[in-house]
Chains A and B, each alone.
Chain A
């Protein structure tokens, strides 16, 4: 399959007075055409920084380096700020966690949608309105004409998230990034949005979905990447990783999810907190919290190994039948 996005050894450092925050420290993955990748991990594991680094949507004091960062052959690291504007929205589009804070409350939906379309497609406003309307129909918005004329405060959270999705799809982006798209929404609305994201997978070449809810990843993604303290811990096909998690961290995350089929009132959890990325633990970053940690884990950083076809794990025990 042809590769859409290639990321090799991506590093994002923030230099502060107290030290360097290594928010993302050597992450490699790829997204093929027509594929959906899910990135999961705890708060502070560097999920959002990873995708924002790919977009280069970062403050100037962030240092982004990578051996390779290409989208459809374009080297994203070499682009000037001016060139980036053509990429954002056109090649890479993003949906944010809290839709209401990413939409301007002072302008109508029509104004906000056509602005983006006119900028990228260089077309007249009347045509842009048509595209905007079609996009709203695509995301299943009832009464699109009325919605175009309304202001954000007149719409519900679920509707605004649909508009954000319509907006991000309006210029046919190659890559769609959704950063926790359903966290701010209710269960029934969440189900609507998840179904929509599953349906529109066919309209974009690739999708990256960030969430801390592994269940959502199993519903729409083909591949999953588990991140911890700026490092990739495990990555591979969704079915493989969810059924046979090889990394102790993935196992812990899966065990912590309250399940409907669970009879017990007790939940498993990983003790402790995510370490600071200013001064991460030596060796494997998960070793202080790992129930299977061996002496080697605190000394040497585990390499990414392929334990099954396209199922990669960064763990010292992974090659020997896993930690169980």
Chain B
């Protein structure tokens, strides 16, 4: 009974997360501020994959960087297993942060070209001051489906898929509870992508991990995740279970985004082509951020920022005309 209760408690809780990049004058006055992430909240439960999708510049990677501790927060809290880990200077936080690891987008750029696989995988232990022997490295390589012979190779001797496997192995070194996957397959071929996705799924089941998957490829998110948040210009516009949102998106942006996925013939549907580009996050439109590109926009959208509303089936969307 108690264990069941544990399961329903979120492992990672994000509340009112904000990240502003500010340009300051010499006297410290803020000249301009770029609102990369502006007040987002979500929960991630144990053993769950949570997806964040959106276009370039919507703040999804900034969110990943904050979750993994690579950026400091402007405002908001990140709670991990009930402990507030937003404050980096706290020593106890460092202990907890070990349990959140990250896999990066470009496997070639995230591995040091001058380090052998062994050294790359050993590094987390060295940094944390943990003494381990070679067998731990072999074990990590085995989990990601590579033989022990690979530890004497340099990154340039590996294929793209193998490099990403090393990236996953490195993330697993500290026995994490949550792994942040920032576009883990976007630099890979379809076939290699399928291999990595299957591997991630298998590891998740073995170790009861939670994933936060950042991606612009919606079909990957649909395959991997249970719940998804759609971001636009630093805000979450729609959030809910993957199946519900993909079946019946409520927010116009989500509708357009989903209709634009290139699909094979058997699942063709009508496309909604959006006009123009995503506005710059330093010049955010007034009211609803999506209104300059929205085909449903009316006067109210220009003036008033829509609040998150419950749309049923565990979904919520931020749009003035969500009921229609």
A contact set with B: CB distance below 8 Å: 42-43, 142, 156-159, 186-192, 194-195, 212-216, 218-219, 239, 242-243, 252-254, 256-262, 265-270, 273
Chain A residue contacts of B224, Cβ below 8 A: 265
Tell whether A187 pairs with B261 under 8 Å between CB atoms, given A258-B222, A259-B219: yes
Given contacts A159-B277, A189-B277, A267-B198, contact A212 B189 (CB under 8 A): yes
Is B55 an interface residue, CB under 8 A from the partner? yes
A227 to B124, CA, bound (A): 41
The residues in B between 183 and 217 inclusive whose CB is less than 8 angstroms from any CB of A are 189-195, 197-198, 201, 216-217
**B265 near A218: Cβ-Cβ < 8 Å:** yes
16 pairs, A vs B, C-beta closer than 8 Å: A42-B191, A156-B277, A157-B56, A187-B261, A188-B55, A188-B274, A191-B273, A212-B190, A219-B262, A258-B217, A260-B218, A260-B222, A261-B267, A267-B197, A269-B194, A270-B191
* Cβ-closest chain A residue relative to B256: A188
Q: Does B246 sit within 8 A of A, measured CB to CB?
A: yes
- Inter-subunit contact A273/B246 (CB<8 Å): no
Q: Name the distance in Å between B170's Cβ and chain A's nearest Cβ.
A: 21
Question: Which B residues are in CB contact (< 8 Å) with A252?
Answer: 191
Give chain A residues whose Cβ lies under 8 Å from the Cβ of B132.
Answer: none
Query: Which of these, A189, A191, A213, A258, contacts B220 with CB under 8 Å?
Result: A258
Supplied contacts A159-B277, A191-B273, 6 more A-B pairs, CB within 8 Å = A43-B160, A195-B273, A213-B190, A215-B262, A256-B191, A261-B266
Interface residue SS majority, chain B? helix
Q: In the bound complex, do residue B264 and residue A190 qualify as a contact, i.e. CB atoms below 8 Å apart?
A: no
How far apart are the CA atoms of A43 and B190 in the complex, in Å? Answer: 10
CB distance from B136 to the nearest CB of A (A): 27
Interface residues of B in 40-57 (CB under 8 A from A): 55-56
Q: Which of B220, B261, B277 contacts A158 (CB 8 A)?
A: B277
Q: Once the chains are docked, how many angstroms separate the CA of A265 from the CA of B197? A: 9
* CB neighbours of A243 from chain B (8 A): 265
A283 CB to nearest chain B CB (Å): 21
A269 in contact with B198 given A158-B277, A188-B55 (CB within 8 Å): yes
**Could you tell me if A186 and B55 are in contact, using CB atoms closer than 8 angstroms?**
yes
Please state if B265 and A239 are interface contacts (CB–CB under 8 Å).
Answer: yes
Residue B109 CB within 8 A of the other chain:
no
Q: How far does the Cβ of B84 sit from chain A's closest Cβ, in whole Å?
A: 33
Q: Tell me the nearest residue of chain B to A189, going by C-beta.
A: B277
Contact between A259 and B195 (Cβ–Cβ < 8 Å)?
no
